[in-house]
Each structure stands twice: as C-alpha cells, then as structure tokens.
Amino acid sequence: MRWITQILEITWMSLATLPRRPGSALVIVGGIAGVVGVLVALLAISEGFQAVLAKAGRMDDAIVLRKGASAELNSGLSREDTVLIAQAPGILHDRTGNPIASAEVVVVANLRKRSSGTESNVEIRGVGPRVWELRSNVHIIEGRRFRPGMRELVVGQGAQREFAGLEVGRTIRLGLQQWQVVGMFASGDAHESELWGDPEVLQGAYQRTGYQSVTVKLTDVDAFDTLKAALSSDPRLTVDVQRTRDYYATQSEDLTRLIRILGVAIAAIMGIGAVFGALNTMYSAVSARSREIATLRALGFPAVPVVVSVMLEAALLALAGGVIGAAIAWALFDNYTASTLGANFSQVVFAFRVTPGLILSGLLWSLGIGLVGGLFPAIHAVRQPVTVALRAQ
Amino acid sequence: MKFLPLVWAALMRRKARTILTLLSIIVAFLLFGMLDAVRVAFTVRDSLEGASRLVTSSRLSIIQPLPYADLAQIQRVPGVRQVAFANWFGGIYQDRRNFFANFAVSPNYLDLFPEFVLPKEQRAAFDHTRTGAIVGANLARRYNFKVGDRIPLQATIFPHKNGDNTWTFDLVGIFHAREARDRGQEDQMMFHYDYFDEGRTFGHGTVGWYAVQISDPDRAGQVARDIDRLFANSADETRTQTEKQFSLDFARQIGDIGLIVSSIMGAVFFTILLLTGNTMSQAVRERIPELAVLKTIGYSNRRVLWLVLAESLLLAIAGGCIGLLLAMAGAGMLSAAFRGGAFEVGLQSWRNGIGIMLVLGFAVGLPPAWRAMRLRIVDALNAH
C-alpha cells in the first residue's frame, strides 16, 4: 500500500514537470501515434474486406459450383444441372411449392471507375426469380426490380458509388446491347458491388448458354448434409457444395492474410524505431532528474517504486500516443470505401473497418512499446550510486 | 574534413543517445527501402519489346473469349508484324494456395517475347512436344521442377474431356528473364494451345487474347484503332491497348498501391522527423556553453552552423545508408516470402533515399544549427 502511494507520488512529480519538456514527451507520444496509426489503418483494410464478404455468407444457404471451381467465375453448370440441383432434398420450398433456389450467371463487364477514370471490371449477376426470398437482406432503395426477360439491371449501392454512369434511368452497353438501369439495391455485403439482371437475357448478351452457380436456401442449418449427400451421389452431376458462409470466407482469406502479414511487419519495424525513440526520451528524462531520484533514494524511497514510476510514466505517454494514433486512424479511415479485385475477377467494394478490437490491439502495442522503452532507463536510474548522482550537476 | 573529429566528439558526447537516434534512422530507411521496392515492383516499366506489342482482348470484358478466326484478320492489318495468342488456364498445382499464372499459348508466342530466354534445344523440344510445357526459373526453383518432370494441374475452369479434372504436362524447358528486373515474370507456366483446345470440353476455337507485334511503336495508336475497327459492331468487339496500358489498367484494378505505400512512408518519416528532430535540438541545447567557447576562440557563426548541421547530416546519411543496405537484404527475403515477387532496392530507390537523407538531415539540423549560429557569446556562457 505504501509502495502504491509512493509510486503515484513519484509519477505525479515527474508528470508535473512534463509541460517544461514538451519536446521529449512529444517524441514518445508522436512516435507511438505513428506506429499505432499505421497498424490500425492497415488492419482496418483486412477487417473491412473480410467483413463485407463474410456478411454475404450464411449457415443456411448453400452454393453449388462445378467440381474444382474455386470461384463462380471459373464454374460452369448446364441448364439440366441447375434443374437437377434445385430438385435435391434439403432445399426450402416456398408456399407455392417451388424450391428457393437461384441459378445464376456471373459475368464481368468493363465500366469506367469514378475515381481513376479508367475502366475496371464490374460483376454482373444474372439471378433467378426467387433470389429476393433467397437473399432477403437485399432491398431496393431506389427505382424498382428488373423485369424478367427484359434488358434491365438493378445496381448495387457500392457498384454505383464506384462506377460512373450507373444512376437509375441510365443505360449501359453490353456488347451490342443497351441495358437500362432501373433500380438500386442495398444489401450491406459483397453483393452491393454487383449488377443484377435476368440470367437468360444476360446469357444472350455474352453468347453463352450455361450458368455459373446455384445458390439455395436450406430447410435448416443441418439440412446441408442431406443436400450434399444427395448431390454428390448423383451420377449425373459433378459438383461441389459449400455453405455460402464457408465459400465467402475462403474468398477473403488470401488478401486478408497478406494484409495482416504486411501490416504487422511494417508496424513491428516502426515499433522498433519507436522503442529507440522512447528509450532516448526516457534516458534523458531520467538523467535530467538523476539528482531528484538520488534525493528520493537518500530519503529512503526503495528502488522498486522509482523503477515502476519511470515505467509508468513511459507507459502513460505511450498510451496517450496509442490513443491519438488510433483516433487518427479511426477518423481518417473508418468507413473509408475502397475496392479491389475479388475472386470473380471484378471489383469488390468495401469499407475499412476500425473495430474496437483493432483499437484495443493498437493500444496494447503502444503499452508494450512504452514499457520496453521505460524499463532500461528505469533500471539505469536506480543503478546509479546515490552519492554520485547527488554530486552530478 | 579537419572538423570531423570535432563533429565526432559531439556525437560521442552521449553515446547512448547517438546510437539510439542512429538506430531509429536505420529502421526508418530499412522500411523506406522495402516499401519502395514494393512500389517499384508494381510500377509498370517501359521496355523496348513492350512498346512494340499490343494486347487485343474482348471489349465486353477480359473474361470473354475471342474467335480464333480473328487471327487471320488481325495479321492483315497494316503495321502488324506478327500475331500470337494465349488463353488463361487457371490450373492449380496441388494446393489452391500455390497460385501461379499458367496459360496456353500459340506456337509463335515466345517469338514475340524475346525477354524470356529459353535454351535452343529446350525451345526445339517445346515445339515438338504436344504435351510440353515450359516454366520460369523462379517457379522451377520453388517447386523443384526439373526438365523431364510430369506436372499435374487441377483444372478450375476447364475440365478435361476425359472426365478427369487433372491435366498432365511434360516439362521440357525452363526459361529465364533476360533482365533481372523482369524476374517477377519467371513465375509462370506456358503450354501448347493445341493440346489445351483439344482437351477442353467447351469454348473450342476461341482464344483469350491476342498479342500483336507491330513494326513501328510510334504508330501503336493507329494500328490499335485499325484492329478494333475490324470488329466494331460485330458480336465480338475488341479492345486493343498497348501492353503497358493493359498492365497499368490491371494494376489499378488491384488498388492504388502507390498511394498506400506513400501514405505509410509519410507516416514513418513524420515519426522519424519528430524523434530525431527533438533529440538533435536537445543535444545542441546541452552544448550551448561549449558552442560559446568555440565562438570565443574565433569560430565564425557560419562555421558553427555547419558544425551542428554536419552532425545531423552525418547521422541521417550514415543511418540512411545502413538502413538501405539492410533493406537490400530485406527485399531479398521479401521476394522469397511472396511468391512471384521480384523486389529489389535499385538505383532509383537509392537516389530517392539519398534525397530523403539530405532533406532529413537539413530539416532536423537546421533549427538547432540556426540557434547555435545566432547565439550571443555572453548569454551562452552565462547559460549555466
């Protein structure tokens, strides 16, 4: 108990002198703010990308692709395949007795991006009539749904933000055809980066006959095994079945891992630099106060409170830096939208996410840097013989 | 030069501080070097051969195939010297994570890409082996491929018509990039279009893209327009771009890597400026009486300014050079860690780095040096 008050007193004493040496405090705060800011901002990219894809997946939806296809774009299913798949057991039926399944065509078109003015790939998905029940989180926020059989498209909110000329009422050219944008939808997941239309009309535009995938709603979470068993034992089909949650999680795996490795590596290197900075500051802080510390020691303060108080000072400054860095990253990058190439070789729009978890890990980093930066100077401070330190000028 | 001992003595006044400052500068330049290597790797470079090549792909989208029949028509366009074609295969070797580019190419494809060097007898073997494939040296090293190996690839897009998903290729050659900076391109595998077209179950008679060699790079725009005009308003409209533009567009689709990298570098240097700037001014503050003594014995104001500046410049340049040297080693490790990467701290990074070292040295040293110069001897001697 006495130690605690001693620690607090010494820390308070040194913190009170901070206004007189703003420069050195700034070194710790600024240095660590830089590290934490970069770390949080980079990890926010991977969090955001992962989240937008994760939200597209569900436990009670399944996606069927041709065997070996890692993404929809690589897959191909014939019309007969899609009919067989929709008849499989384990699929939920609606009130009229139709299976809630959507046989989908996935193609890519070139559209001009707003930001760069250059053409980028946008994903166009031909969706079946039951898609609105299948993906019930999708709702039209402007205009109306496309009409089957027509050259009409509804565009995702993200796609519209990223690409030029997708406002409701505009037309875009697919090959020799003009397609009209009749509505805009929001879904909060990766589908927002897509354009949706009628699959059969889309096949015509791209001169193809097949489909890429079938997505179905399961009767319940456990029905997946039933469906999978039925489809894999059917000799007429060579397909892979996955829960959409697993499918979309795999899609974000590579990029997320890459960014995590990069983010942590860069922050670690910067962190080493910040440790040097913190060491520097704390060494000079301690040496500037060596007489005071020696006086305390002469008065009978034991070594431990002195050591702890120096480390505490460093940790507090570091934490302040961490908070500032995380706050800057949050202010600049939370919900910052960007897009990159996804598994279907087209742009996936996503928003950076600065989550509480990220901020927490940023603060832990800052504490770690502060403690390491404070430890050696603290030991140095009490190691000095009192008599020598008292005589120091 | 004769003042070097004086500068050295000043730096060694507090060894710990100098070493720590130096270390943080080293760290900053280590990071700068590696990030710049990444930036350079993603920058599309001009090359002589690249300038004389066009890429013709479907206007609808890159995934849309073009008819094989376009070949003859493109060949007849004035200014076109040679046309090759290729088709993306997207096969997987053993595990999904072992990603590398693999595609089917026309027999003359390598003629258009002299930057890939394949030994003559291997080229002959490739020409004569229907199931033959060639890989880049990087790829061969990674999976320990040797000429004579049979390489199985799992199809993701094109199942084999024999019902099996696995295609087998005979490795007949290993090619090298002619120039070190193109080493990133050694990470691909090519095989014969004929073998591929015969084995696939759909899409027969279509190709992914055409590579068009032109005789005069200055007429690239005109030739590209002529090619596209051939197919305008047909079911398969084309888009012809220079290879550079094609690569630029592709890199841009991944994201603005340059922007990300420079933002990080900005944050790093802001931090380092803060760290060293403060330390330098602290170091000068402590030495004010000493500087006053120097002035008393006749050192001119300007000389004192340079003495202090020399300290920070020395720190910045020494730290920067060590950091960049470390980055050269680090970039090698980075290339090994990220398959297909050819990261290198090249001349350009050194040039940028040295520029930043000078700016850093001046930015950090100038304020305290200025103060040292303006010092009035009487006040300064009184300071303690």
Per-residue pLDDT of chain A (393 residues; tens, 9 = 90+): 677 888 888 888 778 877 877 777 888 898 899 889 999 999 999 999 999 999 999 999 999 999 988 899 989 999 999 999 999 999 999 999 999 999 999 999 999 998 878 888 999 999 999 999 999 999 999 999 999 999 999 999 999 999 999 999 999 999 889 999 999 999 999 999 999 999 999 999 998 889 999 999 999 999 999 999 999 999 999 999 999 999 999 988 888 888 888 888 888 888 888 888 888 888 888 887 788 888 888 888 888 888 888 888 889 999 999 999 999 999 999 999 888 888 888 899 999 999 999 999 999 999 999 999 889 988 888 888 888 877 765
Identify all chain B residues contacting A33, using CB atoms and an 8 Å cutoff.
271
Report the distance separating Cα A107 and Cα A146, nearest Å. 17
Query: Is B238 in contact with B227 (CB distance < 8 Å)?
Result: yes
Between B60, B202, B270, which is nearest A109 by CB? B60
- For A259, residues 6+ apart whose C-beta sits below 8 A from its C-beta are A42, A43, A45, A46, A49
> Do residue B274 and residue A338 have CB atoms under 8 angstroms apart?
no
Confidence (pTM): 0.86
The domain segmentation of chain A, as residue ranges, is: 2-54+252-391, 68-237
Report the distance separating Cα A271 and Cα A39, nearest Å. 10
> Do residue A175 and residue B30 have CB atoms under 8 angstroms apart?
no
Indicate if the pLDDT at residue B384 is higher than 60. Answer: no
Q: Could you give the ipTM of this predicted complex?
A: 0.81
Contact status of A77 with chain B (Cβ, < 8 Å) = no
Whole-number pLDDT of residue B288: 80
Q: How far is B173 from chain A (nearest CA, A)?
A: 28
Selected residues 108-127 of chain A with any CB under 8 Å from a CB in chain B: 108-110, 116, 118-121
Q: How far is A26 from chain B (nearest CA, A)?
A: 8
| Amino acid present at A173 | R
Q: Of the candidates B186, B197, B148, B195, which has an alpha carbon nearest to the alpha carbon of residue B170? A: B148
Between B16, B24, B248, which is nearest A273 by CB? B24
Q: How far is B60 from chain A (nearest CA, A)?
A: 6
User: Tokens representing A376?
Assistant: 């050696």
Q: How far is A23 from chain B (nearest CA, A)?
A: 6
Report the distance separating Cα B144 and Cα A164, nearest Å. 47
> Do residue A118 and residue B27 have CB atoms under 8 angstroms apart?
no
> Do residue A345 and residue B63 have CB atoms under 8 angstroms apart?
yes
